[in-house]
Amino acid sequence: MKLRLLLTCLVLTFLAPSIFAKEKPGMDVVRAAKLASDFLAGRGAGDTYIVSVAIDEGAIISGQPTWVAKWSKPIVSDGSTEVGVRVKGDGTIVRLVEGKGSRSTRPPAALDIR
């Protein structure tokens, strides 16, 4: 019984750090905020601004932490209500649309926003 308890404690000692370890985001918050701000400016959203930028620990499958920037008010265009963006570590921006998602796979510098 004591041996089993000792082995369990030993295994948990070595496994716990890898189970609870958090991965560092691919970019810092300042760069993520700048990309989100540039994207918002390109949308021509007028008086809409960023109200928050927060880390999202990642999807269940990918496990990659990303930054989420939310707008001060929704941007409605083409029947979609955009509430912010997700900025991935590689600079990819994904629009956050209420009720569905819309993905942009090109880096922000290559986005053609009119």
Residue 80 to residue 96: CA distance in whole angstroms: 10
Measure the CA–CA gap between 54 and 33, rounded to whole angstroms.
10
Is the confidence at residue 18, as pLDDT, over 50? no
pLDDT, tens only, 82-91: 999 999 989 9
Report residue 89: phi and psi, to 5°: -60, -25
DSSP state of 91: S
Q: Residue ranges per domain, the chain?
A: 23-110
Quote the percentage of the chain above a pLDDT of 90: 36
pLDDT in tens, 39-80: 999 988 789 999 999 988 765 556 778 899 999 999 988 888
DSSP conformational letter for 25: P
What is the model's pTM? 0.66
Instruction: Work out the pLDDT band at 6, boundaries 50, 70, 90.
Output: low
Tokens for 18, please give them: 């890898």
